[in-house]
Structures are given as C-alpha cells and as structure tokens.
Amino acid sequence: LVLIRYGVAQIIEQPLPANATAFQRELDAHLVLWIYSTLADNLVDHVVGATTTYDLWHRIRDYFLANRAARYMMLNCQYRNLKQGDLSVAEYARRMKLLTAGLADIEHAVTEVDLTTQFLHGIDKRLDTIRVVLGDTVPLPPFETVFSR
C-alpha cells in the first residue's frame, strides 16, 4: 500500500529498463535501502545481494512462498486442534480468528461454515447445550452470531 500511495508500485512489478534515467535508478536505490531497513535480520540473510527493488521484492516473495506448504500444515493443525479449555469464549474466538487469518494469508481461506463448525467443535463441555442448539440450526449461523450467543 505504501508503494501504491507514493506511485512507485510499478517498480516491484517489472525490472528497471536498461535505459532507466538517473532519477529512476536513484529512486530504486532509495526503495532498496528502505525495504532492507524494515526487514528482520533473519530475513535479510535470505535476500542479501539484491540490488534492485524488483529483485529484492521477488526474493522476499519467493522466500515466503517457499514456506507456504509448511506454514499451511502448521496453521491448519493448530486450527483443527484448537479447544477452548480454560480460555474465555472471547479469547478462544480471537485465537480462532487469528489462525483463520493466517490461513487466508497463504491462500487457504476457511469458509464461514467451517469456521462456525470448528468453533462449536472446540468449545468447552460446559457449553454443550449451546453447541447442540446452535449446531442443529439450519442453516448454520455465521461465526459472529454463534460467538455472540
């Protein structure tokens, strides 16, 4: 969004042309320095050597895409095994939403029905009555409705 806001998003979409002006090369160098300065040290180790914004951006993207399968397995396992236990309903719902947001970030969005079903599956036994009543509702209510009850 920052790159779009300042009108320089095209610089990550295509490499600088061979006949780039001095201004374009200087802008690219500033963006490279800015991006490097915002990266965590452990990520810098994976992209060091990139000298253009285009190259740096694509190395970062490739790094995260390479970890997508492992991240999916980890997040999906946490999502499927999350139980309320001693958590408040609000904290349980918050954690579930964080996991679903993480899954969506790696292009494995969770459907509303799955989210609601998983939420009901993991709530504590003390809330069995609510689980049965809401779980038998046709159609299944949206997550926010179930959470609010």
**H-run or E-run covering 68:** helix 68-81
* Per-residue pLDDT, 90: 92
Same domain as 49, residue 13: yes
pLDDT along the chain (149 residues), means of 10: 79 90 94 93 92 94 86 96 94 95 93 92 84 73 75
Domain count, the chain: 2
Containing structural domain, residue 113 = 68-148
Q: Which of 66, 86, 119 is the last residue of a domain?
A: 66
Same domain as 137, residue 74: yes
The pTM of the full predicted model, rounded to 2 decimals, is 0.60
* Per-residue pLDDT, 5: 81
Q: Residue 55 in contact with residue 48, Cβ under 8 Å?
A: no
* Per-residue pLDDT, 144: 83
Q: Is 98 left (phi over 0), alpha (psi -120 to 50) or beta?
A: alpha
Same domain as 76, residue 39: no
Same domain as 78, residue 108: yes
